[in-house]
Amino acid sequence: MKLIAGNSNRRLVEAISKRLATTPARAEIKTFKDGEVFVEIQENVRGEDVFVIQSTSYPANDNLMELLITMDALSRASASRITAVIPYFGYARQDRKAGPRTPISAKLVANLITSAGADRVLTVDLHAGQIQGFFDIPTDNLYAVKEFERRIREINNNDLSSVTVVSPDVGGVVRARALAKKLEDRPLAIVDKRREGPGLSEVMNIIGDVDGRDCVIFDDIVDSGGTLCNAAEALMAEGAKSVTACVTHGVLSDHAERRVMKSDALCRLIITDSIETRKEVAECPKIEEVSIATLLAEAIRRIANEESVSSLFD
């Protein structure tokens, strides 16, 4: 087994390597002045089981090309199996035709990854589970729910009597229910959001009782943070005692950390290290990080040893 580290999230690769008691294979991945990506694998990988770890986060296209070209280099170097480990699959939100004459970019990217030489894909909390079907190769979609469960228990000193799990939209109910089940079948609430018209702010209604409850919003992606902060305000307006958000992928674009910091309703945002955090995000006192390195390391170990990974989906 060999690990290849892309440039998108070196810190996560180091943590995974430490848990597997190994070091990433030597490889040079650089960008020429005109933007072209160059990859050279600097040790023998013939017949090896290789795992390329690369999130397609910002800059999404550069990181995607690094992943594709690295896998092509490994394929031409006669690696026996190539697994694309993509902690954050960046094009997952473009999973359907949202309007006329629009692409399904998630399917296009899945085709590119397969064509580049991937034999298997390992990812975490896809925006939509059906994206697994876009790949014509085995695809494992892991869940970070256990990491969030541990942190919520720590915050509440293992007293979950006042906790209510909140889905930020109707489409996220299954994800939120999974966390609620882990937290001793806590009650579930849903944020019903809609826009009154183009350019007008979202109107939010709360389905479920949140009065006097410690609410935990559970979602897969936080981008600009505006909708998340609005949801927290709506929950507080309905009488919630506190609002904590657990979000797997902290994209946090457009100075989202400032919105989180300024929000009086949102007391805490917990993200994972699927995306390497910027300095400004790391320094925000309201944002904390839990690691998925152990989860990914265990999945990689089991795949390499041809063991079952199904228990990691629970």
199 is in an annotated binding site: no
Cα distances (Å, whole numbers) of residue 178 to 40, 149, 171, 299: 42, 10, 13, 20
DSSP state of 277: P
**Sign, CA torsion 131/62/86/81:** positive
Cα distances (Å, whole numbers) of residue 93 to 89, 97, 160, 227: 9, 11, 32, 16
150 is in an annotated binding site: no
Q: Which two tokens stand for residue 83?
A: 């697994």
Strand bridging mode 242-250 / 139-142: unpaired
Concerning whether 146 is annotated as a catalytic residue, the answer is: no
Residue 222 main-chain phi, psi, to 5 deg: -120, 120
Set 146, 181, 193, 286: catalytic member: 193
223 is in an annotated binding site: yes
36 is in an annotated binding site: yes
**What is the H or E stretch that residue 41 is in?**
strand 37-41
26 is in an annotated binding site: no
Strand bridging mode 163-167 / 188-195: parallel
Question: Rounded CA gap, 172 and 71, in Å?
Answer: 33
169 is in an annotated binding site: yes
**Helix runs in the chain, H state only:** 10-19, 60-76, 105-115, 145-155, 173-182, 226-237, 256-262, 279-282, 293-304
219 is in an annotated binding site: yes
226 is in an annotated binding site: yes
129 is in an annotated binding site: no
Sorted by sequence, the CB contacts under 8 Å of residue 158 that are 6+ apart come out as none
Residues annotated as part of the active site: 193
Q: Residues comprising the binding site for Mg(2+)?
A: 127, 169
Q: Residues comprising the binding site for D-ribose 5-phosphate?
A: 195, 219, 223-227
Q: Residues comprising the binding site for ATP?
A: 34-36, 93-94
Q: Residues comprising the binding site?
A: 34-36, 93-94, 127, 169, 195, 219, 223-227
